Amino acid sequence: MTDKFMGFTLTTDESEALLDCLIKIREKKRQEELRQSCKDGISSQIKKAIDTIGLDETKRIVRELNRELRMGS
């Protein structure tokens, strides 16, 4: 069995390389979508916190969390 891609007949090596590339592209896209979703969620929570407890207290919390992240907690 030979694989075809856009009019090209692919060797087994080429077909495997193309599949590997496709898998990597899709995984990268999935990771970026997850990243954006998390970023949007965090941003939404920050906006809610500002509305609930005010900007200054929200800033303090974000700074505290940032310090914890830097320390690896």
Q: What is the per-residue pLDDT across 1-53, written as a single tens digit (0 to 9) for each?
A: 578 989 999 999 999 999 999 999 999 999 999 999 999 999 999 999 999 99
Distance, in Å, from the CA atom of 70 to the CA atom of 56, rounded to the nearest integer, reads 21
- Domains contained in the chain, number: 1
Residue 14: how many other CB atoms lie within 10 Å: 13
DSSP three-state, residue 1: coil
Q: Are 39 and 51 in contact (CB under 8 A)?
A: no
Q: What's the domain range around 45?
A: 3-71
Band (pLDDT 50/70/90 cuts) for residue 73 is low
